[in-house]
Amino acid sequence: MSNNTDVVFSYNSNGSKKPANDRVVAFDKVAYRLEVSRLASLANKRVKRLEKNGLTDSPAYQRLVQEGNPRFGVKGKTFNEVQTELSRLNRFINSQTSTVRGITSNLKDMAKNTGIKYKNVKELKTKAGKFFELASKVEQYLRTVEDMASAIGYNQIWEVINEYTDEAKIDLGDAETDIDSLVETVSKILASSDQPFFEDLDMRNNWVFIV
């Protein structure tokens, strides 16, 4: 095998053409670079759509920001760097929150789990941000002030938030709603509860991952 054909390239991302029977195909280095470049173009289009739709707080996008570069490409990169870029690409492309549709699906699943009521996706996104900000601050308050966070899971926190905001006619989608003013009240309700739950879902950066 020549120097240009010593690369094994596995098509295992949603953005690539997957061979039948999950086969692994050998490519030369030129073809490899071209394929990674194609995936980079696909991923960059997704990034631009997220930015255009104001969805840059999605976990997939935020990970790129934390890595220091919310864009992909192979120009000027060595072969080893192109391989590293492919790993970033696969991780991003395979993430549900790398697409507007995937984020919408994730939000709807989250709303179903938490009981958030909404009229449209735009309202859901606004409410979800404040809802999880409040839930996170309540959890912190219970841990640091009440010393009881370990006895109360997010499911119960979500339930109390929904009940309290509904009874008090508080709209979490309202830009003027002060989340900090609700933290102590919701926390006190939970602290007085005698029916704690222990089931949690994974929360990262105010997003819920349904697993």
Residues 90, 173, single domain; the answer is no
Regarding pTM above 0.95, the answer is no
pLDDT at 126: 82
Residues 181, 120, single domain; the answer is yes
CB 173 within 8 A of CB 198: no
Residues 119, 198, single domain; the answer is yes
**Could you tell me the residue range of the domain that residue 32 belongs to?**
3-96
Q: What residues of the chain score a pLDDT lower than 70?
A: 1-27, 146, 148-151, 193-211
Reduced to 3 states (helix: H, G, I; strand: E, B; else coil), residue 202 is strand
Token digits for 58?
Answer: 């999605």
**Which of 70, 96, 122 marks a domain boundary?**
96
Residues 37, 114, single domain; the answer is no
**Which of 96, 131, 157 marks a domain boundary?**
96
Residues 106, 184, single domain; the answer is yes
pLDDT at 58: 85
Signed CA dihedral, 192, 195, 198, 201: sign only: negative
Residues 74, 12, single domain; the answer is yes
Token digits for 174?
Answer: 């309202």
Residues 64, 108, single domain; the answer is no
By residue count, the chain amounts to: 211
Pairing of strands 207-209, 202-204: antiparallel
The Cα–Cα gap between 31 and 25 comes to 11
Reduced to 3 states (helix: H, G, I; strand: E, B; else coil), residue 207 is strand
Residues 199, 161, single domain; the answer is yes
Residues 64, 138, single domain; the answer is no
Residues 21, 81, single domain; the answer is yes
**Which of 77, 96, 115 marks a domain boundary?**
96
User: How many structural domains comprise the chain?
Assistant: 2
